[in-house]
Amino acid sequence: MRILIADDDPLSLRLLERTLERVGYEVTAVKNGRRAAEEMCQPEGPRLALLDWVMPELDGPAVCRQIRKDRGGHHVHIILITSKDSKQDIVCGLESGADDYLVKPFDPEELKARLRTGQRILQLEDNLVEAREQMHYKATHDPLTSLLNRGMIVDLLVRELIRARREKTCTVVILGDVDHFKAVNDTYGHPVGDEVLRELSRRLLGSVRSYDFVGRYGGEEFLVVLNNCNPANAMSRAEQIRQAVGQTPVTTAKGPLPITMSLGVLASLGGEPKLVDEILSDVDHALYEAKGAGRNCCRQAGAPVLTR
């Protein structure tokens, strides 16, 4: 693990560096508080620090305050090394942002033990952050396809329509439905149907730009939001998506299956208001027109609409 040590005494600094290197730490050694603050405040700087209290330019408590003020992201564990052993000094050091302290002269084994404690605290924080991110992911993504779920894709659509209205741009909304999907489930079983949905999700993501949105709207329906899109290109973009989905059979446990998709398309222009529910209703109507026209095709919902 990376650790920063800061001490203006060259001999003490070198001895401490060797001690830590012998037990496997990757050490960054600096001789004053200003350099310590600069190193620790880097976005990818060390997350474990040993700071001498008395140093040139910035003392240990001042470095602690600077780190707590400027270092975002994950927690940094700071241990102050000091010859000050009064309760008042210890409280001052801890209130400056230090997590722990050692009084000189300290025992090397105690130092290692306190560093291991710091590592456990950092690992606990990492675990909590990972758990929080996993919870957020599960709350916003479909578990089968890993696409955005219905709530999240609609929320992003609302945000995009607000942005498009502010910037006077166009958002293209595409609602796609897998053709004859019930027959796939009935004939080959739901596990094969799941394989189809996962592969189509991959193809949909591969057919749009990195800043567009793709979500599972429900069942075998998918909602695609194309940001800042020329309304004249709405149908051609939808055709590209349709072809990407259906140009090659989907490989499944029951063999390759030809799969197609019908799409409803709507180009929404920023300007006078139109509710998102109306947009979704209109694009859904266009989708049913595509179904009625024989499937595996695209239909557009009238002229571009103004949104709110």
Q: Is residue 220 annotated as part of the catalytic site, yes or no?
A: yes
Q: Exposed e or buried b for every residue in 92-122, given b needs 16+ CB within 10 A?
A: bbbebbbbbbbeeeeeeeebeebbeebbeeb
| 81: its two tokens | 């090394």
One-letter identity of residue 224: V
Of 220, 221, 239, 272, catalytic: 220
Distance CA 222, CA 226 (A): 13
Active site residues: 220
